[in-house]
Amino acid sequence: RRLVIAYFGHDEIFAFGRTLQILDQTNLVADAGGALAGLAACRREDTDGILVALTVPPIYQGLGVGSALLSAAIQHLGQEGASRVRLATTNDNLPALQLYQRRGFVVEEVRPGEIARLLEERPGSVPRGFAGIPIRDEIRMVLDLTTA
């Protein structure tokens, strides 16, 4: 819970037009000598797997932790019978967009202004994200497991 709160500022995430409690999902964690190096939260919905959240503290970024967690989540959801994995990220999250595309995810939909509208409703939310880029849009991506 500490990692989730430290990274997101709360333990819920807005994705796919709804609020999801991160800790209510299947949570996969990366351990680095007893320290929490990252977390992937995922769930199965019908035939889809949903990657609800993927977070890696800055000290562990660039070391393959995010890639390992993403692989574990994809494998878990595939074993649960998902035929595809969907996720949503924000327009500012350039490292995540790179990671997901390298792993075969494709952009399914862009929801302009979706996150900006949510942030206006949430006092205390940070309006700027990665590299000072304003957080505005939700980018939905999908990986087809039947061809991956």
The per-residue pLDDT string of the chain (148 residues; one tens digit each, 9 = 90 and over) reads 776 777 666 788 888 888 888 888 999 999 888 888 999 999 999 899 999 999 888 899 899 999 999 999 999 999 999 999 999 999 999 999 999 999 999 999 999 998 888 777 766 655 677 788 988 899 999 999 998 6
Q: What is the pLDDT of residue 117?
A: 81
CA distance linking residue 48 with residue 78, whole number of Å: 9
Q: Supply the pLDDT for residue 91.
A: 94
Identify the pLDDT of residue 123. 63
In what helix (H) or strand (E) does residue 79 lie, and over which residues does it extend? Answer: helix 65-79
* pLDDT value for 143: 97
Nearest-angstrom CA–CA distance, 112 and 93: 15
pLDDT at 126 (0 to 100): 54
